[in-house]
A and B are shown apart, each in its own frame.
Chain A
Amino acid sequence: MDFCKRHLFVALFAVLGLVALAYIGVQANLQVLFGVIIPYLAVLIFVEGLVFQLIKWARSPVPFRIPTTAGQNRTLPWIKRDLGDKLDNPSTTGFLVGRMALEVLAFRSLFRNLRTELQKDPDNPEGARLIHWSYKWLWLGAIAFHYAFLVVVLRHLRFFTEPVPLPFQLMEHVDGFFQFFTPAVYLSGVVLVVAVFYLLARRLTNPCMRYISLAADYFPLLLILGIGISGILMRYVYKVDIVAVKEMAMGLATLQPKVVAGIGSIFYIHLFLVSVLFAYFPFSKLMHAPGVFFSPSRNMVSNNRWVLHVNPWNYPVKFHHYDEYEDRFREAMIEADIPVEKES
């Protein structure tokens, strides 16, 4: 089996295996394990793993100030710098916050994305030329995916709160605005699944993407797809007893866990996949989410020449001192009328 298939199938079978595991577990009456112990464990691993990884990153110093400058730097006062320059090459902390906010909330760098194609060009003696298109599909897919995911997560908080705070209630109404099914279809769920399919499809159809993708790239996508599909099945097809689910969720949230009878296996599959996602998060590429805040090319003010940056491990180096230089070339320098420190 080739590299790509191996990585894809390992991820696919891992997710299918997890689904099977949860199903078998429920059939074997291990509701306590899958409904209480594993979720708690997953949250514990998530928090500890996350903190551990953040500390690990933070412990390495940032020896040099290396922002990627994507706009005109602050120089002479009359040199024009528009808002884009100030945000893409921030010279103050305020604009840096703006840069990071744009990056995190609007995926600024991805929005810049281009696609470069080699086109045949018979009029040209070389026979081909490069064309650079603006290409926003990846940005759109990514932003749709992340925001849909966020809404889905927030929407789930109604299971963990009683009474449900007004914002969550409102969100539910907006999300289910198009009431074309019973129960009303949530837009976020649909967008999430469609976006995951897009992200998966581009990995599988673009030869270069297929070439660089690892199991670690397919696995989270398939896992989230599994979570999305199980959630959708639960709501629209199997119609799990929502009151029972809420009772169980409130038990988990208030640290008085209990297994409520009468909830179908699909719920446990869903919950188990979510638990795996939580536990997997700190050890995977999903750490790009907190990681972007640690990225020195994005999170530093571009003020190198007027604010000193200190490297904690800066050390003296051996260099070719002027005295040695002059000692070596003194005669020639004198002959060439180049001033010297010592005449002989």
Chain B
Amino acid sequence: MAKAPKPSELLAGLNYQPPAKGWMDVKPDLRPGTYVNAANPKWMEWINYPYPRAWNVADEDWKLPDNWKEIILEGMEDRLKRFRSLKVFFDICVRCGACADKCHFFLGTGDPKNMPVLRAELLRSVYRRYFKKIGQVLGEIAGARDLTEDVIKEWFLYLHQCTICRRCSLFCPYGIDMAEMTLLGRELLASIGVNIDWAMASVAQCYDKGSHIGATPQAFKDMMDFLAEENERITGITTQPTYNRKGAEVLFVMPSGDYFADPGTFTMMGYMLMFEHIGLDYTLSTYAAEGGNFGWFVSHEMGKRLNAKIYHEAKRLGVKWILGGECGHMWRVCNQYMPTWWGPVDFLEEPVSPITGTRFENASVHKMVHISEFTADLIHHGKLNLDPQRNAHIKMTFHDSCNTARGMGIFEEPRYIINNVLPEGNFIEMPPNTIREKTFCCGSSSALNANENMEVRMQGGFPRANAVKFVQEKYGVNHLGCICALDRATLPTLMEYWVPGMEVTGITELVGNALVFEGEMERTTDLRDRDLVGFGEAAEEDAEDAE
């Protein structure tokens, strides 16, 4: 973990007072810790991205192409023609400020340019200068300004201090969505070769091999086999998955975060156990091995280029439908874009659960089911034999992922599952203004979970952590649940920093813990090898005390 100041230091300097100088006169302060490094040209070459070159954010000269200004302005004009959202969101903001204190980056950094309204003005001011008569004539007093290299640097800094979480859009009286502008702004930056390394590395690896960690087919299989062995070691149940198997009923696609690092891997083990428990005829794919879509963090087009693999593979394998794992932005992309990119999807069938017979009518066009929908349906029909006492050591709160919350609307399914796999009273909600549609982002999503920007990540995650800390102190909550792999990748760091002692867990991991199999061995630990209540050293000591 890169150096970030101590929590107390980070908060000591925090206030929401803007500087005396007007925002147009404040140059971007590109201080280490606040930005993600420039993309290595190698990645850009892999995916044919323009202007690959070695450059540094801290350098004065970013080695932009000679005609960078024309490229940006033409790109903006093109996007105004293609996206009504951009045009309308540029034109109708009244700067009422309702969004200002809704952004986790503003609340964490106090930097006024992180108020969504002002972050949008960074782009809008250029729009007014070049596309609006009044801005051309009146300039600054009409809120317009020239496009300079400093403006590009400012865009770079603040469009990468936005996690596209849409909390601002929820509170905006016109639904102005910063996420839309951030995405299109990042597209503009990419068009002159200004990209961040964490995003580009992930995109290139996903494109080239199949997952953001760049796992080869054999490495992917090794990891999965290992997790199956772990399952067998802990439960005595064989959960061996199949790979690239034609004729399977279901293709299961999960985010790569679920198979390469803790605590995501425990969620993967949970999926496997559950599929074994119900006897699901499913296959994994080494090619469509990444549900997470890092391309969408860079551009709509790159999102589509990566997303292509899922339907392509489903068609090749001849499955009936697709099941998708716990992932936030994967599902936002699936929900908002996937059918539009590729539809109609006539080579798949309307998903029907082979276990319960439930027809997922809500996915009749998309042909893809969310694991939480699938699991909730199984529980509702009594198809899972669950022992919630196996999760008795877990007192949990649930973090609604920004993408599934405000880009899809999944709130009840995970809660239904949680209530069925945890003992009563072990599930505690965070304060109502910080959950569900009002949830706070983890602060490191949208390709910002690099190491070099740790300071700003911890700042951006502060509002989320603050709410978690509240339930930890008040109710003794020790686990933070989520249905997002990026959360599972970033929240542990955030918790370690702000809320020590808080573990992060996927929901299907809890299902895996609670599942009771016929012929299983006596379960004394959970999937993380932690003693269950009533077992292990603590229990033995208790027993001795009793004697």
Contacts and interface: CB of A to CB of B under 8 A. Distances in A.
Given A317-B301, A338-B243, A70 B97 contact: no
B221 A128 contact: no
Given A132-B431, A297-B175, A212 B340 contact: no
A320 to B, nearest CB: 5
A172 B140 CA distance: 44
A60 B362 contact: no
Interface string B166-177: 100111111111
A65 B80 CA distance: 17
Interface stretch (B5-13, B59-67, B227-235, B382-390): B5-13
A63 B121 contact: no
Interface in B155-181: 166, 169-177, 180
B543 interface: no
A308 B344 contact: yes
Contacts of A57: 84, 87-88, 91
B174 A291 contact: yes
A6 B138 CA distance: 13
B340 A65 contact: yes
Contacts of A262: none
A63 B340 contact: yes
A320 B309 contact: yes
A175 B409 CA distance: 43
Interface residues of B, number: 128
Interface of A: 2-4, 6-7, 10, 53, 56-66, 68-76, 78-81, 85, 88-89, 103, 107, 109-110, 112-116, 118, 124-130, 132, 134, 138, 142, 206-217, 283, 285, 287-288, 291-292, 294-298, 302, 304-311, 313-314, 317-322, 325-326, 329, 332-333, 335-336, 338-340
A51 to B, nearest CB: 15
Given A69-B437, A336-B217, A336-B221, A308 B362 contact: no
B305 A317 contact: yes
Contact of A307 (B85, B86, B365): B365
A113 B84 contact: no
Interface string B142-166: 1100000000000000000000001
B313 interface: yes
Contacts of A81: 412
* Most chain A Cβ neighbours within 10 Å, of B222, B312, B368: B312
B340 A309 contact: yes
B306 interface: yes
B366 A305 contact: yes
Contacts of A332: 216-218
Interface string B239-270: 00001111000000000000000000000000
Interface in B358-411: 358, 360-366, 368, 370, 373, 376-377, 380, 405-411
A105 B416 CA distance: 35
Contacts of A103: 173, 175
Interface stretch (B15-23, B37-45, B189-197): B15-23
A198 B525 CA distance: 61
10 closest A-B pairs by beta carbon, nearest first, are A3-B22, A73-B409, A291-B92, A69-B409, A297-B175, A319-B308, A298-B175, A305-B366, A132-B433, A211-B18
A116 B222 CA distance: 47
The B interface, classified by DSSP as helix, strand, loop or mixed, is helix
A65 B134 CA distance: 32
A292 B175 contact: yes
A334 to B, nearest CB: 10
* Most chain A Cβ neighbours within 10 Å, of B141, B180, B462: B141
B115 A112 contact: no
26 contacts: A2-B21, A6-B22, A64-B340, A66-B85, A66-B177, A68-B406, A75-B413, A110-B173, A115-B101, A212-B121, A216-B143, A285-B93, A288-B174, A295-B85, A297-B177, A305-B366, A309-B339, A309-B340, A318-B305, A320-B305, A321-B312, A332-B216, A333-B218, A336-B221, A336-B222, A338-B243
B312 A292 contact: no
Contact of A214 (B92, B143, B337, B376): B143
Interface string B70-112: 0000000000111111111101111111101110000100001
Nearest to B339: A308
B316 interface: yes
Given A2-B20, A304-B335, A338-B221, A109 B175 contact: yes
Contacts of A291: 88, 91-92, 174
B115 A80 contact: no
Nearest to B85: A296
B170 A68 contact: yes
Contacts, number: 338
A128 B11 contact: yes
Contact of B85 (A62, A74, A80, A113): A62
Given A10-B141, A65-B336, A115-B101, 6 more contacts: A63-B300, A64-B337, A103-B173, A215-B143, A333-B244, A339-B245
B394 to A, nearest CB: 24
B365 A308 contact: yes
B481 interface: no
B434 interface: yes
A125 B501 CA distance: 15
Contacts of B373: 75-76
Contacts of A294: 84, 88
Contact of B23 (A3, A68, A138): A3
B291 interface: no
Contacts of B434: 132
Contact of A295 (B133, B171, B176, B462): B176
B539 interface: no
A63 B412 CA distance: 29
B92 A292 contact: yes
A69 B407 contact: yes
Interface in B294-331: 300-301, 304-306, 308-309, 312-313, 316
Given A61-B82, A132-B431, A333-B218, A208 B177 contact: no
A261 B312 CA distance: 79
B130 interface: no
Given A79-B376, A116-B107, A212-B115, A72 B98 contact: no
Given A3-B25, A7-B141, A212-B95, A60 B81 contact: yes
Contacts of B133: 283
Given A3-B21, A305-B365, A307-B365, A79 B312 contact: no
A96 B284 CA distance: 38
A295 B87 contact: no
